[in-house]
Structure 1
């Protein structure tokens, strides 16, 4: 039996995703990690163009794990006061049809466990756009609809953060946050911690190590991006432009809680890589992901490690998760000198930018109360 959540989830967070770290993946790459998803403790967030169509196919094929659809329209356009949901709000309003947002959310709910709003990217200071999006969701009044707020990291600073939290609290149903831009890791984690104090129970999507850390700070659910593009949200006019891809897949080295290219691991271990005991690798060495033909097994390995962490997190009471994750991060930090010495490579292993932050960030000593929305009990 899973450990208890800090508060009842009925009506606030969809029960099928509450208390979980989901795996977020591009809709065209889900097959690489689908076999390793634990339906009892995790789930999937399908992302990008074609995500809803893929959700339909997965359900028809018998996929039973929790499933959300993130159409990622924030990657394509900014939210504005007149059009907070890009692609839905352009053109004349239909006279004899239901609201376009309602229609899309109904389509999501036919196959997903909750419906994520297709909110555009909310630039720093764009309070009108943020409030317009929230107002539409309030009018919808469906507790199965999650108000997604993909906001620039500028919203995490004092003053703006409190305004952001007030808007989120005005929505009577569940909410989820996606943090965009290129914020400094320490400031981003501190801002997220403060936001979850003000809006405990909010979901945190499309992130990395913060997916586990956020649950320890009071998030209701979260999603870990299984590849680097799923662990960041860039403004529409600042999308990454790649000049050729990497020569090998990104591999999660669980001992150090960090991703490295397969070729980097092979160079560090020099034929002396340890065996990996995850369900995907089953004792095979960790330095075998040498080129992009190994993308599928590498993705399976990554998903297995993340699913294992998700199981551990899910088994804990909410009040224990923060200390558990901080302990995990501290232990990993302590292993860097040992592994660097073991491989005897002049460069050793580079420490991930987020790891030191979560290793030292203060965690709540008690489970936070849940902010109820407008007209409901406020957080203590």
Structure 2
């Protein structure tokens, strides 16, 4: 974890965000943006102040969050996720990763440091819960039950195999024993929702059956979760903060060597595609265009660059698109009408795939293919 400045060096205005401010009403109904802490923090005009916010994620998250508050002037809802689950595996004796350079570090201090750095609520520094690791999961429950603060969200970073048919019931029972809001983080290579066919449906079970569930560090699964009753959710600004891998693993990529291009959210197809992939598919055809404020009707193939300005433009485009969908979703009360809206939206996107492939003269194999989670959201029962 990052080492925040001592309390004596913090502005008094941030220290008043103490443990007496409940987390639930602050976070309810929001879809937050996971910003990567390796970049200089900046205001995002594309973030909706009523329906959005920021999760500062990764190493030095507290320092970057503090700068976002004090230097960039961000006044919105914010969480700080130093992502201890990427380096620490939860054990029965140490379910949380506390600062290693402090002799008498406590969980309460760690949560307080987040609030002092500008967090609206505090996330527990829970370690990665490995496949079938029942004892560490029970240790997280016991530790959560000892927390007396009302400003705290208990992070539950589980291997995606906990959403198998064999394990999902145990995960639900465990989360039901935690009184605070719970932030589920799914850990696995590539998109965890594609590891098994049953995962999208079982994730819905967890979200809908457990009160106060959140889904963080994900992609459009955040919207599916919100439709099915999640308290709050989070979408990563890049693929590295949309997904997470277990401690000791390196994230696998389709091309391990070479330049890194942005991932682009395609509005009509409702999927993220790499800029290189888009440039290749549209090499001999007019590209798909986007009417958002960043694109202003230009083609989506123009993001095939590696400079920082292009990266930021791509990120802002993505945020504007999914934020528009969050706004649409907010027009429906949680319940049947919201679920039907989402199912129909996903089904309409699925129907666009063959039309787009036909337009650009590519076969289904060489052209665009719907991601399995999108297909699941379009076909699973809406009720």
- TM score, norm. by length of structure 1: 0.85
Work out the number of aligned pairs and report it: 350
Partners of 2:41 and 2:65 within 8 A in 1: no
Shift of 1:261: 2.1
Residues 135, 322 of structure 1: alpha-carbon distance in 2 compared, 3 angstrom cutoff: same
Residues 322, 247 of structure 1: alpha-carbon distance in 2 compared, 3 angstrom cutoff: same
Partners of 1:33 and 1:303 within 8 A in 2: no
Shift of 1:271: 5.5
Partners of 1:333 and 1:356 within 8 A in 2: yes
Unaligned runs of 5+ in 2: 1-19
**Structure with more contact order per residue of length (Cα contacts < 8 Å, sep ≥ 6):** 1
For residues 64 and 91 of structure 1, what CA distance do their matches in structure 2 show?
31
Counterpart in 1 of 2:292? 278
- Write out aligned runs for 1:101-140 (5 A): 101-110=107-116, 111-140=118-147
Matching of residue 18 in structure 1 with residue 18 in structure 2? no
- TM score, norm. by length of structure 2: 0.84
For residues 16 and 24 of structure 1, what CA distance do their matches in structure 2 show?
17
Partners of 2:164 and 2:199 within 8 A in 1: no
Counterpart in 2 of 1:295? 311
For residues 84 and 272 of structure 1, what CA distance do their matches in structure 2 show?
52
Matching of residue 179 in structure 1 with residue 186 in structure 2? yes
Counterpart in 2 of 1:345? 362
Partners of 2:31 and 2:232 within 8 A in 1: yes
Moved more, 209-218 or 155-164: 155-164
Partners of 2:176 and 2:211 within 8 A in 1: no
For residues 245 and 16 of structure 1, what CA distance do their matches in structure 2 show?
42
Partners of 2:41 and 2:68 within 8 A in 1: no
For residues 32 and 249 of structure 1, what CA distance do their matches in structure 2 show?
18
Unaligned runs of 5+ in 1: 1-9, 365-380
For residues 119 and 157 of structure 1, what CA distance do their matches in structure 2 show?
21
Partners of 2:43 and 2:73 within 8 A in 1: no
Counterpart in 2 of 1:38? 48
Partners of 1:185 and 1:357 within 8 A in 2: no
Shift of 1:91: 8.6
Residues 316, 18 of structure 1: alpha-carbon distance in 2 compared, 3 angstrom cutoff: same
For residues 234 and 77 of structure 1, what CA distance do their matches in structure 2 show?
11
Counterpart in 2 of 1:235? 246
Counterpart in 2 of 1:373? none
Counterpart in 2 of 1:258? 271
For residues 247 and 117 of structure 1, what CA distance do their matches in structure 2 show?
32
Shift of 1:159: 5.2
- Write out aligned runs for 1:48-197 (5 A): 48-60=58-70, 61-88=72-99, 94=104, 100-110=106-116, 111-158=118-165, 160-181=167-188, 182=192, 184-197=195-208
SS of residue paired to 1:318: coil
